[in-house]
C-alpha cells in the first residue's frame, strides 16, 4: 500500500490516467467532443384546427438535422411552454407522429408534432419547444408568436422579459 501511495504522490496524473498521462486525457476529451451528437431544429409550419371547445388540435412541422458524427434519436414527446397575452404561462405536450425517430448524421428529417393545447395557444407568444435526444442532450426551438418567427436565445430572453415586466410586444408587426 505504501508503494501505491508513493507512486501516486510522485506522479498523480500518470497514476490516474494510465501511461498516456495528460496527453492521453486530452485525446480522450477531444474524441468525446468530436463524437457528440449535434441536433438542430427548424420550424417549417403550424396548422390549427379550432373546433369551438377548450382545446385546439395543433400540428407542428419541424425539420431536425443531426450535424454530429454519431447517430441519435429524438424522444417521442416534446414539451412546450408559452405566454398568453395576459402574461400567464401555459404548458403543453406534443407527440411525434410516426415510429421511426432515428437521426443519422448529416441527414435532415421532417417530423410532425401533434398536440391539443388550450385554445389560448393560438394567441400565445414566446413558445419554447424542448426536444430531447438519446444522445446530445436537448435543444430548444424558440418561436416568438403565431407568425412562426424564430430567434436566438439572447434576443428571445430579452423580448420575453420585456413582455413579462411591461406587457410590450415590439416583435409584433401590424
Per-residue pLDDT reduced to its tens digit, 97-136: 988 889 998 889 999 999 999 888 888 899 999 999 988 7
- pLDDT score of 5: 67
Q: Looking at residue 77, what is its pLDDT? A: 95
Q: Which residues are 141's β-sheet partners?
A: 129
- Contact present, 72 and 39 (Cβ < 8 Å): yes
* Continuous H helices in 37-152: none
Residue 70 has a pLDDT of 85
- Nearest residue to 11 via CA among 2, 1, 22: 22
Domain ranges of the chain: 2-31, 39-166
> Which pLDDT value is given to residue 21?
63
The predicted structure's pLDDT at residue 145: 85
What phi and psi values does residue 36 have, to the nearest 5 degrees? -75, 155
Residue 2: per-residue pLDDT = 66
The parts of the chain modelled with pLDDT lower than 70 are 1-8, 10-22, 174
Q: What predicted TM-score, i.e. pTM, was given to this entire model?
A: 0.80
Which overall architecture, per CATH, does domain 39-166 show?
Answer: Sandwich (2.60)
Cell numbers placing 86: 395576459
Amino acid at each position: 500500500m505504501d508503494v501505491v501511495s508513493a507512486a501516486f504522490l510522485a506522479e498523480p496524473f500518470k497514476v490516474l490516467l494510465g501511461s498516456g498521462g495528460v496527453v492521453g486525457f486530452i485525446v480522450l476529451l477531444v474524441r468525446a467532443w468530436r463524437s457528440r451528437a449535434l441536433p438542430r431544429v427548424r420550424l417549417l409550419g403550424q396548422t390549427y384546427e379550432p373546433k369551438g371547445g377548450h382545446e385546439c388540435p395543433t400540428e407542428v412541422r419541424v425539420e431536425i438535422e443531426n450535424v454530429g458524427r454519431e447517430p441519435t434519436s429524438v424522444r417521442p414527446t416534446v414539451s412546450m411552454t408559452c405566454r398568453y397575452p395576459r402574461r400567464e404561462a401555459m404548458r403543453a405536450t406534443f407527440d411525434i407522429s410516426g415510429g421511426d425517430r432515428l437521426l443519422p448524421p448529416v441527414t435532415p428529417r421532417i417530423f410532425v408534432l401533434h398536440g391539443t393545447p388550450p385554445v389560448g395557444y393560438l394567441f400565445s407568444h414566446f413558445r419554447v419547444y424542448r426536444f430531447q435526444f438519446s444522445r446530445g442532450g436537448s435543444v430548444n426551438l424558440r418561436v416568438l408568436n403565431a407568425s412562426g418567427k424564430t430567434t436566438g436565445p439572447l434576443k428571445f430572453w430579452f423580448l420575453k422579459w420585456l413582455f413579462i415586466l411591461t406587457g410590450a410586444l415590439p416583435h409584433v408587426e401590424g
